[in-house]
């Protein structure tokens, strides 16, 4: 039987950035909405999340490496 480790998650004061692709946006919109809801559920402020949309998956790592991306707003 595997050992299960449970931790208390606290997103208060954490800087969070999300990069999402507009390709298949009917899926990615729901994923982003769920991520923002989970951030709020764990005490974070979804309004302070930096969110960047890219045309496709190829651009995701390029945008994430931009200078200043993910800094607190």
pLDDT of residue 27: 95
pLDDT of residue 72: 45
Domain that holds residue 45: 17-64
Question: CB–CB of 59/26 below 8 Å?
Answer: no
Q: How many domains does the chain have?
A: 1
pTM for this structure? 0.79
Q: Tell me whether residue 12 is in a domain.
A: no
Residues 73, 62: Cα–Cα separation, whole Å: 20
- Digit-by-digit pLDDT tens for the chain (73 residues) are 899 988 888 999 888 999 999 999 999 999 999 999 999 999 999 999 999 999 999 999 999 888 877 554 4
pLDDT of residue 9: 86
Q: Please state, in angstroms and as integers, the Cα–Cα distance from residue 58 to each residue in 1, 13, 65, 66, following that order.
A: 40, 30, 13, 14
Q: Tell me whether residue 36 is in a domain.
A: yes
Question: CB–CB of 17/67 below 8 Å?
Answer: no
Q: Which residues neighbour 38 within 8 Å (Cβ) at sequence distance 6 or greater?
A: none
Q: Tell me whether residue 43 is in a domain.
A: yes
What is the Rg, in whole angstroms, of the alpha carbon atoms belonging to the chain? 14
Q: Tell me whether residue 53 is in a domain.
A: yes
pLDDT of residue 21: 95
């Amino acid at each position: 039987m595997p050992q299960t480790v449970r931790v208390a998650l606290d997103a208060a004061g954490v800087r969070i950035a999300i990069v999402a692709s507009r390709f298949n946006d009917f899926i990615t919109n729901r994923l982003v909405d769920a991520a923002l809801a989970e951030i709020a559920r764990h005490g974070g402020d979804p309004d302070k999340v930096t969110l960047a949309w890219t045309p496709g998956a190829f651009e995701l790592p390029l945008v994430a490496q931009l200078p200043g991306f993910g800094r607190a707003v």
